[in-house]
Structure 1
Amino acid sequence: MSRMYRGGILGALMFVIWDIAVSIADLFLRELWALIRIPFEIMSAIFQMFAAIDAMRTNLDILSSVLSIYHNFTSGLSFPDNILQSISPMGTLIWIGFWGVVFWYIGIPALGVLFSILTDN
């Protein structure tokens, strides 16, 4: 009777051994794949760093252009300011509207770029 159960026990042990061997091979392949991926992850991080630096440089270029445009607007506009304010209250409203347009088209993009530079770091 013991001979009858021996094949079943050996078969069960072979299935257990086979599962252990497959698990070890799977673990080995996963670890090997993780080791192979390390240089590619490092290269990806380097490329992402260069992309972030390039984006920051682009934002700084945009900010410098916006500040240059603002400087060009403000450098020679004291004379019209005096004229518009001396004409009437309507001149003051026109002047306020002009600076509102300057802020809308120059100041808000400048603040957006500045916020982007500050939050990317």
Structure 2
Amino acid sequence: MSRIYHGGILAILTGIVCDIAFSIADLFLRELWALIRIPFEIIGAIFQMFATIDAMRTNLDILSSVLSIYHNFTSGLSFPENFLQSISPLGTLIWIGFWGVVFWYIGIPALGVLFSILTDHR
């Protein structure tokens, strides 16, 4: 009868030792895999940095183009503000509407690009 119990205890101890050995081997392989991945993570971060810089440069190019269009549009503009405002309140509304359209098509995209540049935290 004692041989049966010794066989059971030996089987339990063998199982525990096997579990410990497999756990150590699994931990070792996970750590080894983490060490192998480090250079690839660094390379991925470098590519991500270049992509972020390129996206910021693209946004700055867009902002530059929008501001250039705005400058070219308003510098040669001889819109008769005083004349429109002297006609009636309708002239003032036309003037406000004109600048509203300028802001809608130029100002809002410029603000969107500027907001994108300021809040881009990759």
TM-superposed CA distance for 1:48, in Å, is 1.1
Structure 2 letter corresponding to 1:57: R
- The change in CA–CA distance for 1:79 and 1:27 in structure 2 (over 3 A counts) is closer
TM-score (norm 1): 0.88
TM-superposed CA distance for 1:58, in Å, is 0.8
In structure 2, the residue matched to 1:120 is: 120
In structure 2, the residue matched to 1:107 is: 107
Partners of 1:8 and 1:113 in 2: CA distance: 72
In structure 2, the residue matched to 1:36 is: 36
The number of equivalent residue pairs is 121
Secondary structure of the residue aligned to 1:77 is coil
After superposition, what is the alpha-carbon deviation per residue over 1:23-48, rounded to whole angstroms, capped at 9, x for unaligned? 11111111111111111111111111
Structure 2 letter corresponding to 1:28: F
TM-score (norm 2): 0.87
Name which of structure 1's ranges 39-48 and 76-85 shifts more when overlaid on structure 2. Answer: 76-85
Structure 2 letter corresponding to 1:44: G
TM-superposed CA distance for 1:51, in Å, is 1.1
TM-superposed CA distance for 1:103, in Å, is 0.4
Partners of 2:108 and 2:79 in 1: CA distance: 25
Greater fraction helix: 1
Aligned counterparts, 1:1-121, within 5 A: 1-120=1-120
Root-mean-square deviation (CA), in Å? Answer: 1.8
Unpaired runs of 5+ residues, structure 2, are none
Partners of 2:89 and 2:5 in 1: CA distance: 109
